[in-house]
Amino acid sequence: MTGSQVATVEVPFEALVKELGTKRAIEFISEIRRKYGNSVVELRKATEKLTIEQIERETKQVRRE
């Protein structure tokens, strides 16, 4: 692997529909928005520049503590 890769996790709505069905997928998204509001967006903004290497390093450090 050359360079650093930025870590992102996204689940396409289509994947939710496939696993949960349309009605439950819409309910799930509505529930997340109701409970967490913009926290998902804020988390993404806070972590969008992290590389996989940084995440691995921080994870190893936490495990040692």
Domain boundaries, the chain: 13-64
Residue 1: predicted pLDDT: 45
| Stated pTM of the model | 0.44
Segment 38-54 shows an average pLDDT of 75
In percent, how much of the chain has pLDDT > 70? 78
Segment 23-43 shows an average pLDDT of 78
Residue 9: predicted pLDDT: 54
For 4-26, what is each residue's pLDDT tens digit?
A: 555 555 677 888 888 889 998 88
* Longest Cα separation, the chain: 43
